[in-house]
Amino acid sequence: MKVYFIGAGPGDPELITVKGSRILSEADVVIYAGSLVSPEVLSWCRKDAVIMDSASMDLEEVCRVYGEKKDQGGTIVRLHTGDPSLFGAIQEQMEYLRAEEIDYEIIPGVSSFQAAAAALEQEYTLPGVSQSLIISRVEGRTPVPEKEDLEVLAKSRATMALFLSIAHIDRVCEKLLTSYPEETPAAIVYRASWPDQKILRSRLGELAQTVKESGITRQALIIVGDVLDQNFEYSKLYDPAFSHGWRKGRLDEGAENGEESGAESGKGE
């Protein structure tokens, strides 16, 4: 028996990977997070697959399913929303599986922060504005290490994507406003890639009010940063004056490519 942790994607059932959907379609048992994974993703499953909603299960109960099937053949899929590496609570499950010598593998998925960027038609890393994306959350019922308090992270004024924080929008804004100016652009993406997706745009100074008026209290990302304003330098990657490993600049014939340009062309589509 083998356990697969699969990133189901942000909602749209077509945003699971080809590999993820293939393994899902062959699974004997599927444990999914009912509150966040679209039931449509389950349409990839075999008709006779045992499907369990993890919403009402604790870690022990999930692990019991793994344990019970240990000596049988076949596969169990643990379907996580977005990509399992972010706020997925998979580390403790893997620890259990390792201890029990149960084979497992992780298949990544499209995270909601990526679906939010697509919905906003936004690049998070604009030259001269921000070259970093901070993925974090504000403390709620679950704490955040003090060294990563939003007030500390805010000092860089980089682009931010905040998960699990929309219900604490007052606290988020209060902390971010210690470093980001009030006029910093911000956006809320509710249920990115779902049919009822909603986008709110605001400025940090009015963001809490905007969120309250919308009534959105869950399943949303908070995106903050100057990249949301359309005022930026064009990427050096496509600048005719700029050479890199794969293309010689028209105005800069003969210049050697630097390490940086190689890295940038790796990501620049």
Provide the token pair at 199.
């986008």
- Residues 75, 27 contacting (CB under 8 angstroms): yes
Q: Between 70 and 171, whose beta carbon lies closer to ligand SAH?
A: 171
Count the site residues for ligand SAH by CB under 6 A: 24
93 binds ligand SAH (CB under 6 A): no
Q: Between 23 and 189, whose beta carbon lies closer to ligand SAH?
A: 189
C-alpha span between 166 and 147 (Å, rounded): 21
79 binds ligand SAH (CB under 6 A): no
Q: Kindly indicate which of the ranges 71-79, 89-97, 198-206, 214-222 contains the residues binding ligand SAH, using the contact rule CB under 6 A.
A: 214-222
Contacts of 82 (CB under 8 A, 6+ apart): 7, 8, 9, 10, 88, 109, 110, 111, 112, 113, 115
Q: Between 189 and 227, whose beta carbon lies closer to ligand SAH?
A: 189
Q: Between 52 and 220, whose beta carbon lies closer to ligand SAH?
A: 220
DSSP 119-147: HHT--S-BTTTBS-EEEE---SSS---GG
- Exactly one of 3, 6, 8, 10 binds ligand SAH (CB under 6 A); which one? 10
Q: Between 111 and 243, whose beta carbon lies closer to ligand SAH?
A: 111
| CA nearest to 32, candidates 56, 7, 53, 11 | 53
87 binds ligand SAH (CB under 6 A): yes
- Exactly one of 63, 154, 221, 224 binds ligand SAH (CB under 6 A); which one? 221
Looking at residues 177 to 196 of the shown chain, list those that interact with ligand SAH (rule: CB under 6 A): 189, 191-194
83 binds ligand SAH (CB under 6 A): yes
111 binds ligand SAH (CB under 6 A): yes
| Minimum separation from the CB atom of position 148 to ligand SAH (A) | 16
- Exactly one of 20, 88, 185, 225 binds ligand SAH (CB under 6 A); which one? 88
185-190 sheet: strands from edge to edge: 133-136, 159-162, 220-224, 185-190, 198-203
| Tally of CB atoms within 10 A around 72 | 10
| CA nearest to 227, candidates 127, 155, 111 | 127
C-alpha span between 134 and 155 (Å, rounded): 11
- Exactly one of 81, 93, 159, 261 binds ligand SAH (CB under 6 A); which one? 81
- How many whole angstroms from its chain centre is CA 223? 12
C-alpha span between 72 and 19 (Å, rounded): 23
Q: Between 9 and 185, whose beta carbon lies closer to ligand SAH?
A: 9
Residues that bind ligand SAH (CB under 6 A): 10-11, 36, 80-83, 86-88, 111-112, 115-116, 163-164, 189, 191-194, 219-221
